[in-house]
Amino acid sequence: MTYCLAIKVEEGLVLASDSRTNAGVDHVSTYSKMHTFVWPKNRYLVLLSSGNLATTQAVVKRMRSEADHGAGIYSAPDMDAVAAYVGRLSTDIQKEHRERSNADFEATFLLGGQIDGHQPEIFLIYPQGNYIHESAEHPYLQMGETKYGKPILDRVIRRDTPLELAGRCALVSINSTIRSNLTVGPPVELLLYRNGGDARLLSLSEHDPFYRALNDAWNEGLKHALNGLPKFEWEEERRAAQFVQEGGSGTMR
């Protein structure tokens, strides 16, 4: 399985992915699922891939090869055209593979990026080649093992969430998924794209000091949050009773 997500906030985009691939439990390995395509001052594109590895590798290869000839993602006029193009490549390649076998060749993609003169955008591209974008009410998209990491996004992510905070939230979302599900694993790749072209890419292994510090701080923060929750009625009563017993009321007035 896989867990990837893309967030669009006012300041820019966050894209994050795990790196575990598996075909059955005895065929587990590590592949980057984050592919960047950069032409400075012209376009910045990021593709996150999940599903059949042969399909996703072929899609990425063809994207690079056609862009080298000035076509495909290099000539697409806007992000919508890029999404449609990736969807077309994906279904074409699946069709080629299905001509030789009946196995499951499906692949799903998250696409994010900006083309000069346009706003940054993110898309979820389905195995059928069609796609959706995010919305102001729902400013993030996920694929793969989406459920474990969804509650924190639902509670935190808004359009006006600062970019770096959204990035930390994405890391927490992936980290929670990794802890709860064996088929999602490090390294975690995180890309923060600030509107206009400034991008930061991190690849965080499980031993990375920043990743560990983040995990520890999150654990501490959650414990603190739990300890700050309102007590049950009877706990208050018990505490009040103890207070009286210990002569607390005698010192009151």
* 165 counts as binding a copy of itself under rule CB under 8 A: yes
Report helix, strand and coil shares of the chain as percent, to nearest 5.
40, 30, 35
Considering beta carbons, is residue 83 or 153 the nearer one to a copy of itself?
153
* DSSP states along 170-227: HHHHHHHHHHH-TT--SPEEEEEEETTTEEEEEEE-TT-HHHHHHHHHHHHHHHHHHH
* 233 counts as binding a copy of itself under rule CB under 8 A: yes
Smallest gap, in angstroms, from Cβ of residue 203 to a copy of itself?
Answer: 13
Q: What are the backbone angles phi and psi of residue 13, rounded to the nearest 5°?
A: -120, 150
* 194 counts as binding a copy of itself under rule CB under 8 A: no
Smallest gap, in angstroms, from Cβ of residue 245 to a copy of itself?
Answer: 19
Q: Which is nearest to 3 in space by CA: 184, 124, 132?
A: 184
Instruction: Name the one range near a copy of itself by CB under 8 A: 75-83, 105-113, 131-139, 229-237.
Output: 229-237
Interface residue with a copy of itself, options 25, 136, 229, 252 (CB under 8 A): 229
* 50 counts as binding a copy of itself under rule CB under 8 A: no
Considering beta carbons, is residue 96 or 216 the nearer one to a copy of itself?
216
Instruction: Name the one range near a copy of itself by CB under 8 A: 38-46, 65-73, 133-141, 207-215.
Output: 207-215
What's the CA gap between 195 and 210, in Å, rounded?
25
Name residue, tokens 């000069």: 116
Instruction: Name the one range near a copy of itself by CB under 8 A: 2-10, 24-32, 113-121, 149-157.
Output: 149-157
Asked if 9 and 192 count as a contact pair (C-beta separation under 8 A), the reply is no
* 139 counts as binding a copy of itself under rule CB under 8 A: no
SS3 track for 94-105: HHHHHCCCCCCC
* 226 counts as binding a copy of itself under rule CB under 8 A: yes
* 160 counts as binding a copy of itself under rule CB under 8 A: no
Neighbours of 225 (CB within 10 A): 9
- For residue 53, the SS3 value is helix
What's the CA gap between 214 and 217, in Å, rounded?
5
Q: How many residues does the chain have?
A: 253
* 169 counts as binding a copy of itself under rule CB under 8 A: yes
Smallest gap, in angstroms, from Cβ of residue 168 to a copy of itself?
Answer: 5
Q: Which residues bind a copy of itself (CB under 8 A)?
A: 145, 147-152, 154-156, 164-165, 167-169, 172, 176-177, 179-180, 192, 200, 202, 210, 213-214, 217-235
